[in-house]
Amino acid sequence: MSEDGAPTADDVPNFERYARQMVFAPVGAAGQKKLAAGRVLIVGVGGLGSWVAELLARAGVGFLRLTDDDRVDEVNLHRQALYAQADADARRPKVQAAAARLRQLNSQAAVEPIAQRLDHRNIAALADDVQLIIDGTDNFATRFLINDYSVKMARPWIFAGAVGAEAQMAVFVPGQTACLRCVLDELPPVCRDPNCRTAGVLSMPVAAIAAFEAMEAIKILLGRLDAVSPYLLKLDLWSNQVQRLNLARHRNAQCECCGQRQFEYLQP
């Protein structure tokens, strides 16, 4: 920091890269340092995880751990932004292709690819040393697992899902907001359907809601919980409708997870 308080190149490695972002007052040089020290787990690098990982890597978030046991397929390419035709042709593991692309985008980002599906056995090892968990999955079994872990360990997580031209997003902050299981009835039935993938999805709602997820992640990494969205946000990009549901008002004292602290998804 210079005498006049302006950030200098010493504050952040390769400071110039983030100049436009640091001009935004809530980031600044101090915030950029926090982002450089930020540690995030992204569960699933499909459509949502791809976009979120790219945005966070470009923003200068220092450490991104990616978990996914899938390989790139041609049918992924319309919405999974980190992958190219060659990745699909070679059927590369998604975390491997994603890590290579993210390192191209920002060599300062430490990316740790883990070619595993998140489950009750590995979640502690993969999530204990991060500040928040980002949902890039397509299934509720994994989301309930993340939700249980989040409530038990008081770790914020960001939920998102997309189907058709619709998308939803919510930040769950243990002790402040409802948890996923408190608001499950508010989610579209098709989104909760285990066969969600058969309903189809466009890339636009995925990209849109991933941007909201990444923005909320940045707020958390900056320590700005006061600015975090208190809503379950629902977007319909086809009809241009936006709905918001206040999460604080939907806390359920009877909730088995955040009310009674029973963490069945963390059990074998």
Q: Which is nearer to Zn ion, 13 or 259 (CB)?
A: 259
* CB 228, min distance to Zn ion, A: 17
* Tokens coding 5: 């308080």
Kindly state the tokens that stand for 52.
Answer: 């979120």
The residue (of 48 and 258) whose beta carbon lies closer to Zn ion is: 258
Residues that bind Zn ion (CB under 5 A): 179, 181-182, 255, 257-258
In angstroms, give the least distance from the CB of 244 to Zn ion. Answer: 19
Please state the φ and ψ torsions of residue 162, each to the nearest 5 degrees. -145, 140
Burial, 248: exposed, middle or buried (Cβ in 10 Å; 0-12, 13-18, 19+)? exposed
First to last CA, the chain: 50
Record the tokens describing residue 101, joined without a space.
């692309």
Structure tokens at 68: 């996914």
| Least spacing, CB of residue 160 vs Zn ion, in Å | 18
User: Which residue's structure tokens are 């955040």?
Assistant: 258
Q: In the complex, what is the shortest distance from the CB of residue 259 to Zn ion, in angstroms, rounded to a whole number?
A: 6
How many C-beta neighbours within 10 Å does residue 15 have?
A: 16
Q: Which is nearer to Zn ion, 18 or 140 (CB)?
A: 140
Active site residues: 196
- The nearer residue to Zn ion, 174 or 188, going by C-beta atoms, is 174
| DSSP H or E stretch at residue 254 | none
Q: Could you give the 3-state DSSP secondary structure of residue 251?
A: coil
**Tokens standing for 183?**
């608001």
